[in-house]
Structure 1
Amino acid sequence: MPRARQPELTRAALLAAASTVLREQGASLSLDAVARAAGISKGGLLHHYPTRDALLRALGAALIDDFRQRLTTAHAAELAAHGPARGAWLRAYIALTFTPDEDGQALHAALAPLAGHPALLAGLSEAQAFLLTEPEHDGLPAGTAHAIRLACDGYWMGDLTGLPRLNDTQVHALRETLTAWTR
């Protein structure tokens, strides 16, 4: 009896393996390592993702989707706890920014190698367009909303750029200030 093909499951397994390999090896991940981690032949990987960039682009898109789902859940929790007060979406964004998360770290690692490839980043930029529209619909002045979101983005980008890390007291002060700006 021939084995049933389930390309969606195979792609999901490859993306999960790529995320794991990125966490372990950083941006130097190899297709061989991803195939090995997924228990799939390299030819099988190449059937679904013909290049390393295609795999990283797909991983970036999947992690963006996952982040957006977690953000939607955090926003719903914020609304449930405090009602539809202004700044609720941004408070959820702040909460996710300052909560350590392996998938967030994998997202950063997946996106970093693509920085020098504008064509590859274009699709990921479109997938993240909600980061421009959602803050503006959160009841705060647009400049304040974007300043909060960009401060959050700058906080986690520090890991990618080698900026000095804030100590715990500084992180707490930053989070409290950003949250206060949402009220």
Structure 2
Amino acid sequence: MARTRQPELTRAALLDAALAVLRDHGAALSLDAVARAAGVSKGGLLHHYPTRDALLRALGFALIDDFRHKLDAAHAAELAAHGPARGAWLRAYITLTFTPDQDGEALHAALAPLAGHPALLAGLSEAQAFLLTDAEADGVPPGTAHAIRLACDGYWMGDLTGLPRLNGTQAQALRETLTAWTR
């Protein structure tokens, strides 16, 4: 990576490198591997992210932000295709849940090591508070809206938690059922 006096660009490049390392090596991410992937010294990495947890936390925030942009785009596509009918946001959430995404897998890998650090997770939880408010604002009864979102989250996080994975037929049945609940 070329030297830059634009720290925000450097931090973005370091997060891109961390994402690439997570994709290749999972949660075994090391600061040395990230520095190598970014083409900087370990000291350069530590200047911006003084600990592995700080790097993973920043990556978690970046991936949440990226997910929110993808969700906004999927919601806009749902609105364009079907108008402002109730459940449009939840259908977009369902669509993203059942669409394979390497960044989602990277988010799992980034968040897993933070599970034992409630203070670090607190900020990430606050950054995702929109999931509650947007689900409730979608015109579906709140209990149904949260059941849909939590079912999607459980499906999405199954690999991280070691839950048995649904086969293709089972996943499609779940997706159809959740979609029907949005109407």
Matched AA of 1:39: G
- Greater than 4 Å deviation, 4+ residue runs: none
How is 1:11-160 mapped onto 2 (pairs within 5 angstroms)? 11-160=11-160
5+ residue gaps, structure 2, are none
Matched AA of 2:13: A
Matched AA of 2:52: R
Task: Give the distance between the partners of 1:93 and 1:123, measured in 2 at CA.
Answer: 22
What is the deviation of 1:174? 0.4
SS of residue paired to 1:116? coil
Question: Quick check: 2:4–2:10 contact (8 Å CA) kept in 1?
Answer: no
Matched AA of 2:43: G
SS of residue paired to 1:43? helix
The residue aligned with 2:179 is 179
What is the deviation of 1:50? 0.2
The residue aligned with 1:165 is 165
Task: Give the distance between the partners of 1:177 and 1:112, measured in 2 at CA.
Answer: 29
5+ residue gaps, structure 1, are none
* TM-score after normalising by structure 1: 0.97
How large is the Cα RMSD of the aligned pairs?
0.8
* TM-score after normalising by structure 2: 0.97
Task: Give the distance between the partners of 2:71 and 2:4, measured in 1 at CA.
Answer: 35
Task: Give the distance between the partners of 2:6 and 2:119, measured in 1 at CA.
Answer: 29
Task: Give the distance between the partners of 1:143 and 1:182, measured in 2 at CA.
Answer: 12
What is the deviation of 1:4? 4.6
